[in-house]
């Protein structure tokens, strides 16, 4: 009989530390090893954090010991023994639409997928929406197709059959904005059903998987990992399908733990449902009641976001003992005063609701000569550039590289490179695009058509390239020469002493800083959704609750920075 435990932890109370303590205690008490533990995290980096902490106390453990420390999607893919070529990509979507849906869309053209289309985009809908190589004509557009994929995925991951219920739960509906027509359009109900049926039939026929089908197959076929202990982190962000899998796996283990704070469920648009944990049965509930992050003022201020929530965990917790401060302002003039007077020696987060708002804030900070960085991981981007350079350097030394290294290199290359060409007697320079890779190379690599285990520069030149081997062009195709990142951003923004970070509230999840400047403006689509649905307001309150609880010593809430509504008007 499984013993189910919930670790309920408000912001700053140490859920990660508590889960780590559980792992270490069970390893000592039952004599088990990490091999016997399935640790499902929300991100790959979180899995590495847990593995790293255990390894510090057990330095003899190797990477293989933490094979089951991974995201749920990754765990399910491992159980199904899937390889990279088993996953669908943008090209597959285009192929399905062009061949399977002529009865739905009158004007679907024959599709030649772009060589530049990346094959492993985790969000297929976004990849199609951003694809500049194809714009369907007639009744279908990239935006319509993107919305169809998004809706189909959410219906499946939320385990729903009703589109109205989907909108109530996630805020995603059959309407979308068509950039070509510059207007809001609505997908016909029958067409949406036909698309979903055709897409699922296509995946079954071609034995392909999207990220939801991985979960569906594990759940429907009742496939279990071999484990004694099951742990789930950030359980409040599980979709109904993920939560169903967690509970299914829990049936076969000795103990099943899940760490969560339902009040911080901010991925509603991805199917997260805070009621799943709130309504579930647990043999034991461990409530962490002491925050170590912020004091009484920030704690009391956060309650204003909790009060109007429809579904929330009622956990009383104590503030930290240090002094903290909360202040509220309005208008761009006050924001300018705040930004120009930031203590750049203190850790500071400047948070906003959308990427567009973040971009505007970045321009303001540059204008005010504030040294800052964006929250997305520049260090990992540097690592990718360095890794690509080392692979390229090995090839230039006539060394052989593995198939995995070759795939990394080709994936990061642009198929065409812009070059400066002096073509006139006066010496006038024009810019031309020079093709580097042969047509269809990336697709063949994704499909596994090309399978050489080792590669050298002569083999790459013969099989993949449209030009002669030229390390200068190769480096240019990887962005080494014309990249703002290497030329400007790398020396300025990867320094460890940059304290001011700017980003969306979602990116700041799990972080903390001495000072948080929280922009309380909400974009128009969110404002419209709030007017139509209580669930939308509930979701938005959770987002700003997360933002407001990132601060340790000082929280500044400011609105009327942008010409939109403010979340503060609803509380």
Q: pLDDT over 90 for what percent of the chain? A: 45
Question: Would the pLDDT of 50 be above 70?
Answer: yes
Kind and range of the H or E element at 314?
A: none
Q: For residue 235, report the phi and psi dihedrals to the nearest 5 degrees.
A: -60, -25
Q: pLDDT over 70 for what percent of the chain? A: 85
Contacts 24+ apart (CB under 8 A), 166-170: 167/533, 168/533, 168/535, 169/268, 169/271, 169/273, 169/535, 170/268, 170/269, 170/270, 170/271
Exposed / middle / buried, residue 185 (Cβ in 10 Å: 0-12, 13-18, 19+) = middle
Cα dist from 533 to 158, 451, 462, 537, whole Å: 18, 51, 58, 7
The neighbour count for residue 39, using CB atoms within 10 Å, is: 25
The pair of structure tokens assigned to 273 is: 């449902």
The pair of structure tokens assigned to 197 is: 């049926």
Question: Would the pLDDT of 360 be above 90?
Answer: yes
End-to-end CA gap in the chain: 44
Higher local confidence (pLDDT), 221 or 441? 221
Partners of residue 8 on adjacent β-strands: 260, 287
The pair of structure tokens assigned to 118 is: 């990346």
- Angle of helix 90-100 versus helix 189-205 axis, rounded to 10: 110
Partners of residue 502 on adjacent β-strands: 350, 374
Exposed / middle / buried, residue 383 (Cβ in 10 Å: 0-12, 13-18, 19+) = exposed
pLDDT digits (tens, 9 = 90+) for 437-496: 888 777 776 666 777 788 898 888 888 888 888 877 787 777 655 445 444 544 444 444
**In 3D, which of 350, 412, 351 has the Cα closest to residue 387?**
412
pLDDT of residue 364: 92
pLDDT digits (tens, 9 = 90+) for 79-120: 999 988 899 888 788 788 777 765 555 444 343 333 333 333
**In 3D, which of 257, 260, 216 has the Cα closest to residue 76?**
216
Question: Would the pLDDT of 122 be above 60?
Answer: no
Partners of residue 184 on adjacent β-strands: 177
Q: Is 490 helix (H, G, I), strand (E, B) or coil?
A: helix
Q: How far apart are CA 471 and CA 477, in angstroms?
A: 10
Higher local confidence (pLDDT), 152 or 172? 152
Question: Would the pLDDT of 285 be above 50?
Answer: yes
Q: For residue 337, report the phi and psi dihedrals to the nearest 5 degrees.
A: -60, -40
Strands 565-566 and 521-522: antiparallel
The pair of structure tokens assigned to 55 is: 């390894």
pLDDT, mean of residues 178-186: 80
Largest CA distance in the chain: 85
- DSSP letter for 450, please: -
Q: How far apart are CA 118 and CA 90, in angstroms?
A: 8
DSSP H helical ranges for 58-123: 72-79, 90-100
SS (H, E, C) 203-241: HHHCCCECHHHHHHHHHHCCCCCCCCEEEECCHHHCCHH
pLDDT digits (tens, 9 = 90+) for 365-412: 989 888 888 886 555 566 677 788 888 888 888 899 888 788 888 777
Output the average pLDDT for the chain.
84
Q: pTM for the complete prediction?
A: 0.78
Partners of residue 6 on adjacent β-strands: 258, 285
The neighbour count for residue 86, using CB atoms within 10 Å, is: 15
Taking the CA atoms of residue 50, residue 52, residue 58 and residue 64 in that order, the dihedral angle to the nearest 10 degrees is 90
Contacts 24+ apart (CB under 8 A), 73-80: 73/211, 73/214, 73/215, 74/44, 75/38, 75/40, 75/225, 76/214, 76/215, 76/217, 76/218, 76/223, 76/245, 77/209, 77/214, 79/218, 79/223, 79/224, 79/225, 80/209, 80/214, 80/217, 80/218, 80/223
Question: From its phi and psi, is residue 446 left (phi > 0), alpha (psi between -120 and 50) or beta?
Answer: alpha
- CA angle centred on 152, ends 150 and 155, rounded to 5°: 105
Q: How far apart are CA 342 and CA 518, in angstroms?
A: 14
């Amino acid at each position: 009989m499984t013993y189910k435990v919930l670790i309920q932890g408000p912001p700053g109370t140490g859920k990660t530390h508590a889960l780590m303590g559980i792992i270490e205690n069970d390893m000592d008490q039952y004599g088990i090893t990490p091999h016997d533990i399935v640790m499902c995290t929300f991100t790959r980096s979180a899995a590495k954090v847990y593995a790293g902490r255990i390894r510090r106390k057990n330095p003899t453990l190797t990477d293989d010991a933490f094979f089951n420390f991974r995201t749920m999607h990754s765990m399910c893919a491992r159980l199904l023994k899937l390889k990279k070529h088993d996953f669908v990509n943008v090209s597959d979507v285009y192929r399905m639409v062009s061949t399977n849906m002529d009865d739905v869309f009158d004007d679907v053209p024959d599709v030649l997928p772009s060589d530049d289309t990346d094959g492993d985009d985790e969000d297929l809908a976004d990849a199609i929406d951003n694809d500049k190589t194809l714009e369907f004509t007639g009744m279908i557009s990239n935006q319509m197709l993107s919305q169809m994929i998004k809706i189909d995925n959410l219906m499946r991951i939320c385990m729903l059959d009703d589109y109205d219920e989907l909108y109530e739960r996630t805020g995603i509906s059959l309407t979308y904005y068509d950039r070509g027509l510059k207007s809001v359009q609505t997908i016909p109900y029958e067409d949406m059903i036909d698309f979903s049926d055709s897409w699922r039939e296509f995946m079954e026929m071609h034995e392909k998987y999207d990220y939801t089908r991985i979960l569906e197959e594990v759940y429907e076929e009742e496939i279990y990992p071999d484990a004694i202990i099951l742990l789930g982190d950030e359980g409040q962000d599980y979709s109904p399908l993920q939560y169903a899998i967690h509970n299914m796996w829990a049936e076969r283990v000795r103990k099943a733990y899940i760490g969560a704070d339902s009040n911080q469920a901010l991925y509603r648009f991805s199917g997260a449902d805070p009621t799943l944990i709130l309504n579930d049965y647990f043999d034991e509930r461990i409530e962490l009641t002491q925050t170590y992050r912020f004091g009484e003022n920030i704690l009391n201020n956060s309650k204003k976001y909790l009060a109007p929530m429809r579904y929330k965990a009622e956990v009383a917790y104590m503030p930290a003992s240090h002094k903290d401060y909360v202040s509220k302002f309005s208008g761009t003039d006050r924001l300018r005063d705040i930004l120009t007077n930031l203590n750049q020696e203190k850790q500071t987060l400047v948070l906003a609701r959308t990427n567009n708002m973040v971009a505007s804030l970045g321009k303001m900070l540059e204008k005010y000569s504030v040294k800052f960085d964006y929250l997305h991981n520049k260090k990992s981007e540097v690592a990718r550039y360095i890794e690509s350079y080392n692979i390229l350097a090995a090839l230039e030394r006539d060394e052989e590289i593995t198939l995995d290294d070759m795939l990394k290199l080709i994936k990061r290359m642009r198929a065409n490179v812009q070059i400066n060409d002096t073509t006139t007697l006066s010496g006038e320079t024009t810019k031309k695009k020079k093709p580097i890779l042969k047509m269809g190379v990336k697709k063949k690599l994704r499909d596994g058509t090309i399978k050489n285990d080792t590669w050298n520069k002569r083999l790459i030149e013969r099989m993949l390239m449209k030009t002669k081997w030229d390390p200068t062009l190769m480096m240019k195709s990887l962005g080494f020469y014309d990249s703002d990142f290497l030329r400007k951003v790398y020396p300025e923004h990867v320094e460890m002493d940059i304290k001011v970070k700017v980003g969306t509230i979602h990116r700041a999840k799990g972080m903390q800083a001495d000072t948080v400047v929280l922009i309380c403006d909400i974009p128009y689509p969110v404002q419209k959704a709030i007017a139509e649905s209580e669930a939308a307001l509930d979701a938005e309150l959770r987002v700003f609750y997360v933002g407001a609880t990132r601060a340790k010593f000082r929280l500044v809430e400011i609105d009327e920075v942008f010409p939109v509504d403010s979340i503060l008007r609803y509380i």
